[in-house]
Amino acid sequence: MSSAPKIHRGNSVPISNDQLAALIDAHPKPSAISNYSYGTAGFRYEASLLPCVFVRMGIFAALRSASLGGEEVGVMITASHNPEPDNGMKIADSNGGMLDAAWEKHAVSLANAPTPKQALVLIDTLSKYALGRHPLAQGNPAKLPKMVVHVGRDTRSHSPPLANLVIRAALAMGATVIDHGEVSTPMLHHFVMHANGHLLPSIIPQRCNESGYYEIMALSYAALLRTGKLDGVGGKRLAHTKELVIDGACGIGALKIDTFRKIFDKLNAEGCTYGLPVLCTMNFPGEGPLNENCGAEYVQKQQLPPKLYSPEPKMLGLSKGYMTSFDGDADRVVFHFEDTQGKFHLLDGDKIAVLVSSFIQEELRCIDPNGQAVKCGVVQTAYANGSSTLYLKNVVKTNVVIAKTGVKFVHAAAHHHFDVGVYFEANGHGTVLFGPKFYDFIAAADARLRGTPRNNRANIALRRLRLLPALVNQSVGDAMSDMLLVDAILFLRGWDLNTWAQLYSDMPTRQAKVKVADRTVITTNDNETAAVSPVALQKALQSAMDAMAVEENSVDGPKPRCFVRPSGTEDAVRVYAEANTQSGADSLASEAMMLIYKLCGGVGSPPQPFISNRL
Ligand SMILES: CC(=O)N[C@H]1[C@@H](OP(=O)(O)O)O[C@H](CO)[C@@H](O)[C@@H]1O
Ligand SMILES: [Mg+2]
């Protein structure tokens, strides 16, 4: 089911400068790279360009752990939704979240040091800064501090050799390395968060390894389903929500979700009566190319069902049922289904944010009818569909904050603004963060409701809310955890995907990418809704939006919207357009693509405009 991690003990004496220089020199900076950047989600490049970064980041991760007094940190080797030839790394800080912003700058400086000698100077400064005393290198006779680095990797063929570079470098620094082998990104973050138990809220049982991860999630999910029998509202599985088909993007998620399938099959065989679904996993690694024509990125961006590479017998005839798609490192999930007319419906991160935030607010109100005790809210990005933002504000009546694209920004905003902060990027990447006031609220409710009938609504709500921090991965968005959460909410409400889809209609959208010589010529405002440079670009985009608003006569409803920004994970400029009609969104996107091509140094032949073929 899950294998134990391999624990490697590092050098017991400080490494000499010569040894350190030799380690770095063995993997010099490739000439194709002028500057490595730590994009939206870490370093991400074509795999052959990465060994230089990986050695240096092995050293860096050890230093980061030392700087935190030996708290454990993590390195995840993955390029997520990118194509198979790319790879990358994300560094997890000791709280399980993204690397601290100040240290991100140090990581970039170290990755870009032009020579081993300059890298050594940086390492020396960092280690003095980290420890407030002697540097770690230079054969310093002082005792080495505690350093622990967790390493995980996705299923790409070049991930094992790249992981070995990180491991060797961290060991050379004297760190202990806990090698988890193939795991999803959110699992690695979860292990790190749980390894530093003193940072974990007491409501969450501490489990530092893979079997503990499954145990916490499967048990809290099952316990949440069990509460469905009590409130007389939901707790029913409609025929086609009994089986859940998972498109694993031919990546790690398929392997890992299969463990839940085994756990649920066993419970079902033992006669469990509270509605566990049958999980049917498709698109395992090796069955098709990673992320290609399948997985969350493809499904969400193309708004099309995934290609199913798995052999027919595994499909159990369920391909038209209730279905989810993960991305290549299983930190994103979207849901989709075909209706009886064969029309494809996508339930993206925005729909998940609506479902989850309304559920949590409803449960909170069963205990606190005024909804005053805990501040709830949703963090979205500029990519959130305009209809979802309106629905959240007007129907769910929750607070909405728009943050920059990327988990490091949305996570920080959720943490900063709310006691219960739901964040989801439209692409399905997100989670729910519970803050100290939420835990105080649960403790106070517990004391107040003690002795009241077990099955009154407030008690049921309390039981449900108490399970959420363990079910919902508190470190980062997690496709498996989010899938179980959404499934449980649908079950408790007695909903199918269609009921959920009908909550509001998405505005038609179009997304595209344009290749330019240097995408950094485009800069944006704080929440990326407008380009700041080149100035002519935003002016022209604004005119296009205004013209579309007139054409669509959108007086009362949401206005057409279009923005562009350089991708932080791919060498391209992203275009987003939404309007009241598909042809409006297509025409805005086409115009934006052409403007980028002309004003920002487009390469290759001019982009082809979209021809609307869908209403
Ligand atoms: C439009 C879009 O989907 N952007 C994605 C993508 O970032 P870009 O900077 O847009 O390439 O990858 C990020 C990491 O997975 C994810 O956080 C983000 O939402
Ligand atoms: Mg991902």
**Per-residue pLDDT tens digits for 563-592:** 999 998 888 999 999 999 999 999 999 999
Can 80 be counted among the known catalytic residues? yes
Which residues crowd ion ligand 2, with CB under 5 Å?
80, 327, 329, 331
CA distances in angstroms from 339 to 47, 315, 344, 346, 553, listed in the order given: 40, 18, 7, 11, 31
Cα angle 134, 139, 142; round to 5: 45
- In degrees rounded to 5, what are phi and psi of residue 576? -130, 135
Pull the structure tokens for residue 241: 């929500």
Number of compact structural domains in the chain:
4
- From 80, 346, 348, 405, give the residue whose CB has the most ligand 1 atoms within 8 Å, as the site to mutate: 405
221 in the same domain as 167: no
Residue span of the structural domain in which 476 resides: 349-501
In a domain, 389, yes or no: yes
- Cβ–Cβ under 8 Å, residues 599 and 537: yes
Task: Name the residue with the closest Cα to ligand 1, atom 10.
Answer: 567
**Final residue of a structural domain among 292, 311, 346:** 346
Amino acid 44 reads R
Amino acid 339 reads D
59 in the same domain as 130: yes
Q: Note the ligand closest to the C-alpha atom of 349.
A: 1
Q: Note the ligand closest to the C-alpha atom of 80.
A: 2
- CA pair distance 506, 578, nearest whole angstrom: 9
Q: Beta-strand (E) ranges in 105-242?
A: 148-153, 176-182
In a domain, 269, yes or no: yes
CATH number at residue 140: 3.40.120.10
| CA 152 to ligand 1 center in whole angstroms | 21
Q: What is the pLDDT of residues 84-120, one digit of tens each?
A: 999 999 999 999 999 999 999 999 999 999 999 999 9
In a domain, 611, yes or no: no
Pull the structure tokens for residue 257: 């979700």
Which atom, in ligand 1's list, is nearest to the CA of 511?
1
**Final residue of a structural domain among 293, 327, 346:** 346
| CA 606 to ligand 2 center in whole angstroms | 30
Amino acid 513 reads K
Q: What is the pLDDT of residues 415-460, one digit of tens each?
A: 999 999 999 999 999 999 999 999 999 999 999 999 999 889 999 9
| CA 568 to ligand 1 center in whole angstroms | 7
Q: What is the pLDDT of residues 525-553, one digit of tens each?
A: 988 999 999 999 999 999 999 999 999 88
424 in the same domain as 566: no
**pLDDT at position 319 over 50:** no
Q: What is the pLDDT of residues 248-258, one digit of tens each?
A: 999 999 999 98
Q: Which of 16, 34, 37, 80 is catalytic?
A: 80
Amino acid 551 reads E
Confidence class of residue 554 from pLDDT cuts 50, 70 and 90?
low
Which atom, in ligand 1's list, is nearest to the CA of 407?
17
Amino acid 127 reads S
- From 427, 529, 570, give the residue whose CB has the most ligand 1 atoms within 8 Å, as the site to mutate: 427
Tell whether the torsion through CA atoms of 192, 195, 198 and 201 is positive or negative: positive
- From 562, 567, 576, give the residue whose CB has the most ligand 1 atoms within 8 Å, as the site to mutate: 567
469 in the same domain as 398: yes
Confidence class of residue 133 from pLDDT cuts 50, 70 and 90?
low
Which atom, in ligand 1's list, is nearest to the CA of 406?
17
Sheet of strand 243-247, all strands in order from the earlier edge strand to the far edge: 278-282, 243-247, 322-326, 333-338, 344-347
In a domain, 358, yes or no: yes
- Cβ–Cβ under 8 Å, residues 66 and 140: no
Which of the two residues, 464 and 199, has the higher pLDDT score?
Answer: 464
Ligand 1 shell residues, CB under 6 Å: 40-41, 80, 383, 405-407, 425, 427, 429, 567-570, 574
| CA 331 to ligand 1 center in whole angstroms | 12
Of 413, 421, 363, give the one whose Cα is nearest residue 526.
413
| CA 441 to ligand 2 center in whole angstroms | 33
In a domain, 204, yes or no: no
174 in the same domain as 50: yes
pLDDT the model gives residue 269: 83
Confidence class of residue 313 from pLDDT cuts 50, 70 and 90?
very low
pLDDT the model gives residue 312: 62
In a domain, 270, yes or no: yes
296 in the same domain as 244: yes
Which atom, in ligand 1's list, is nearest to the CA of 381?
19
Of 13, 146, 9, give the one whose Cα is nearest residue 71.
146
354 in the same domain as 342: no
pLDDT the model gives residue 403: 95
In a domain, 357, yes or no: yes
Long-range interactions of 592-595: CB distance < 8 A, separation 24+: 592/512, 592/541, 592/544, 592/562, 592/564, 593/512, 593/514, 595/537, 595/540, 595/541, 595/544
Q: Any idea which of 15-19, 81-85, 240-244, 299-303 has the lowest mean pLDDT?
A: 240-244
- CA pair distance 600, 537, nearest whole angstrom: 8
pTM above 0.80, yes or no: yes
Which of the two residues, 90 and 1, has the higher pLDDT score?
Answer: 90
| CA 332 to ligand 2 center in whole angstroms | 6
**Biggest alpha carbon distance in the chain?**
75
